[in-house]
Amino acid sequence: MSEDVYQKIAFYNHWWSTGKVKKGLARSFKRSLFDKLVERLDYPRILAILGPRRVGKTTLMYQLIQHLLSKNNVDPEHVLYISMDEIGVEDLDELFDTYQRFVLMDEIGEEEIYFFLDEIQFIDDWQLMLKKYFDQKFDINFVVSGSSSMDITRGTSDSLVGRIDEHILLPFSFNEYSHFNGKDTLPDDLTLSFNYDDLQSQYGSLLKHKKRLNIILNQYLLEGGFPEVNQYEDLMLKYEYIWKDIFEKVVYKDIPSVYNIRDPKLLRGLLEIVAKETCQNVSYTNLSNGLDAKRETISKYLSYLESAYLIDLSTIYSKSKVKEQRANKKVYLTDIILKNALLRTTDLSDRSELGKSVETIVYNHLKYISRKNRDINISYWRERNKEVDIVFEDGEETIPIDVKYKNDISKKDLKGVIHFCKKFGIEKGAVINKDGLDKKNIDGIDLIFIPLWFFLPIAERKT
């Protein structure tokens, strides 16, 4: 059996004979997470790369392997990569035994070894197995990836507490999308701020790029940020790829295999509804009635979709934790191409759908910041007929943000953000609009208007 396993793993680890990773696997474009992971390769913790299917986790692993081989001069046979959903081993013991017998031809000694275990969630009890090897102080650096945050974090709360270092890889941000398509010439010193003077000082440096940024923005609003779709020129082929390789495989393979769900058709129906209703309030009761399913099942399935990084659930802003938990949540797609693929969107003429896409992108960029900084929290607020799309909390500062992707914005459009500021004693808010940086005082509240084409390049660069 071990010899059969060796033949399989040798196929994946071609650098044992060539000394380098194939160019097609370790692509030249590197995500912003790459440098951070390089710094942590030798940390005494298990590195975990989490994110949705087809977002580039495997590519990132190959790039890290190539870095070890070319920059750190690591012995190629001391680097092992395995895709756990394809190798066909039942446990990690068999894999490690095979590696020692057929590759090292000895037991793991004092020289550093690097194990890259892709899609680790497909191995039963992987947390306990990794804990065993980790606690025995073998000189092994583990890098694992997973498409299910719930399965990974179950390990961190139990057997792997204090032993795992988690990093999330999501679809391209606007800046990454621009850079990937060879159009990134923006200044490096940009940073998100809700101070009008700070914004003005940066606005001038980006104004000359406005036309190009708007062109890229319109493409981004249709194509989204999944890296793999860029291999197709035709938009419909991009949508077909998303539908078959992400949408259906997550619904019918990934989630059922991890959570043993009985009704993937219900999961698919739920995902189709929330994809169409991105950035909307979702009522678990209405969803359960519409899908003829128990409310508890709807809640559980939504958590599965969130754990697979297809959606994100935003809670209500409230001083009461009880109200925060009981109130309806807003659902956001991790990437708007999921909605566009479902609706077969070919242009941006539908203002209602465009508005949903823009709010979703703004939310995702701010959520990205909050994942990097625990002092930042993202929520929404609603009271009767008044609502604030996004509430951005950064330490002591709270900024209500409304997304109005148009130029003619009336005072009526701003009633939610104005009411919020007055209710909670906040002096200013922000409005993401289509064009024009401006500051207006309305009913004693300072509102900063920030155009989307300017907001996105600075959004992820919050210090």
Residue 343 vs residue 230, higher pLDDT: 343
Residue 448 vs residue 53, higher pLDDT: 448
Amino acid identity, position 122? F
Give the end of a domain, one of 137, 169, 201. 169
In this model, does residue 1 exceed pLDDT 50? no
| 373 phi and psi angles, rounded to 5 deg | -135, 110
In this model, does residue 253 exceed pLDDT 50? yes
In this model, does residue 361 exceed pLDDT 90? yes
Please tell me whether residues 150 and 36 are part of one structural domain.
yes
- Determine which helix (DSSP H) or strand (DSSP E) holds 32, and give its type and residue range: none
Q: Which residues contact 79 (CB under 8 A, 6 or more apart)?
A: 13, 15, 65, 68, 69, 113, 114, 116
CATH value at residue 138: 3.40.50.300
Span 36-52, pLDDT tens digits: 999 999 888 999 999 99
Q: How many other C-beta atoms can be found within 10 angstroms of the C-beta atom of residue 372?
A: 12
Span 55-81, pLDDT tens digits: 999 999 999 999 999 999 999 999 999
Please tell me whether residues 333 and 429 are part of one structural domain.
yes
| 279 phi and psi angles, rounded to 5 deg | 65, 20
Quick one: pLDDT band at residue 451, thresholds 50, 70, 90?
very high
Give the end of a domain, one of 119, 134, 169. 169
Span 147-161, pLDDT tens digits: 866 555 554 445 677
pLDDT of residue 157: 46
Residues 449 and 431: beta-carbon distance below 8 Å: yes
Give the end of a domain, one of 138, 169, 200. 169
In this model, does residue 390 exceed pLDDT 80? yes
The span from the CA of 379 to the CA of 363, in Å, is 9
The span from the CA of 121 to the CA of 434, in Å, is 42
Residue 308 vs residue 185, higher pLDDT: 308
In this model, does residue 186 exceed pLDDT 80? no
> pTM for this structure?
0.92
Please tell me whether residues 290 and 415 are part of one structural domain.
yes
Please tell me whether residues 155 and 29 are part of one structural domain.
yes
* For the chain, percent of residues with pLDDT exceeding 90: 66
Q: Compute the average pLDDT of residues 342-364.
A: 96
Task: Give the CA distances from residue 176 to residues 48, 119, 145, 301, in Å, rounded to whole numbers and listed in that order.
Answer: 21, 24, 21, 31
Please tell me whether residues 265 and 401 are part of one structural domain.
yes
Q: How many other C-beta atoms can be found within 10 angstroms of the C-beta atom of residue 262?
A: 9
Please tell me whether residues 241 and 130 are part of one structural domain.
no
Residue 346 vs residue 253, higher pLDDT: 346
pLDDT of residue 358: 98
Residues 127 and 159: beta-carbon distance below 8 Å: yes
* Containing structural domain, residue 445: 175-459
The span from the CA of 248 to the CA of 228, in Å, is 16
Residue 92 vs residue 422, higher pLDDT: 422
Please tell me whether residues 207 and 242 are part of one structural domain.
yes
Q: How many CA atoms lie within 13 A of 323 on its CB side?
A: 10
Residues 131 and 159: beta-carbon distance below 8 Å: yes
Residue with tokens 């390089």: 38
Alpha helix (H) residue ranges in 158-283: 174-180, 196-207, 210-223, 235-241, 249, 255-259, 264-276
Task: Share the mean pLDDT of the chain.
Answer: 90
